[in-house]
Amino acid sequence: MRFDILTLFPGMFAPLGESILKRAQQAGTIRIGLHNIRDWATDRHRTADDAPYGGGAGMVMKAAPLAAAIRAVVGEEAPPVILLSPDGEPFTQALASELAQQPRLVLVCGHYEGLDERVRESLITREISIGDYVLTGGELAAMVVVDAVARLVPGVIDGESIAEESHSDGLLEYPHYTRPAVWEGREIPAILTSGHHGEVAKWRRRERLRRTLARRPDMVRSAVQQGLLDKHDLAYLAELGWNGE
């Protein structure tokens, strides 16, 4: 899978060359291309922003350099061209899974007060927000999207590791423990050393239900509405005091 990122600050993306994403790029499982929007500016100062019509604070990304950058990077293909924006649809695990099915994504990092609306109307095909807050630019949001999507691409992370993690099926993940079995007087749950794989799986499922109900009851309601929980899950939730609301 290929990610093309259009940005005014390519130096911000150094973290994409570390850890799991580094190994995935070395293996050729994913490719990440960084494109400096200023390279398509036509003046000697490589200006990519200007004052907004109508006045107001801040600057706005100019239409011509950004449009030229998008068109050059997209070429004759038709990949999703995604603007990272606080106006966009919320980024979720389900959306990450959807985007991971694409062979290529083009991510546009907004900056300043935003970009010329005419570029949004003519060249942006989707807008995504990583939360209800405002960042100084779309670079951090783009890295979040790349990280969340790339790890779902086959070959990047073992599929079993993804299957039961938080948000994969509407629930949060169960707690994890490693050696030593007793640390600062705290013991791991005995079931984890029992050798009964079926009972361990049952404990982990119940811990996922318990943790999700305690921390994100809205996710429990959503999981019920989507039919993701069976009768055993519902019975255990009832034991925990959940009344279906």
CATH 1.10.1270.20 segments of the chain:
171-239
Q: What is the chain written as a DSSP string? A: -EEEEEES-GGGGGGGGSHHHHHHHHHTS-EEEEEEGGGG--STT---EEPPTT--SS-EE-HHHHHHHHHHHHTTS---EEEEEEEEEEP-HHHHHHHTTSSEEEEEE-BTT-B-HHHHHHH--EEEESSSS--SBSHHHHHHHHHHHHTTSBTTB-HHHHHTSTTSSSSPPPP---S-SEETTEEPPGGGGS--HHHHHHHHHHHHHHHHHHH-HHHHHHHHHTT---HHHHHHHHHTT----
What is the rounded CA–CA span in Å between residue 117 and residue 115? Answer: 6
pLDDT of residue 166: 64
Q: Tell me where in the chain the CATH 3.40.1280.10 domain(s) lie.
A: 2-159
Query: In terms of Cα–Cα distance, which of 191, 30, 19, 184 is closest to 99?
Result: 30
Q: For Cα atoms 157, 139, 41, give the angle at the middle one, nearest 5 degrees.
A: 130
The phi-psi region of residue 30 (left if phi > 0; otherwise alpha if psi is between -120 and 50; otherwise beta) is beta
The CATH number of 171-239, from 1.10.1840.10, 3.40.50.300, 3.30.565.10, 1.10.1270.20, is 1.10.1270.20
Specify the pLDDT at position 162: 64
Six-digit token string for 23: 């190994």
Q: What angle do CA 242, 244, 245 make, to 5 degrees?
A: 100
10-residue stretch averages of pLDDT, the chain, 245 residues long: 98 97 98 98 95 92 98 97 96 96 97 93 98 95 98 88 69 94 96 96 96 96 94 97 89
CATH number 3.40.1280.10 given to 2-159 = yes
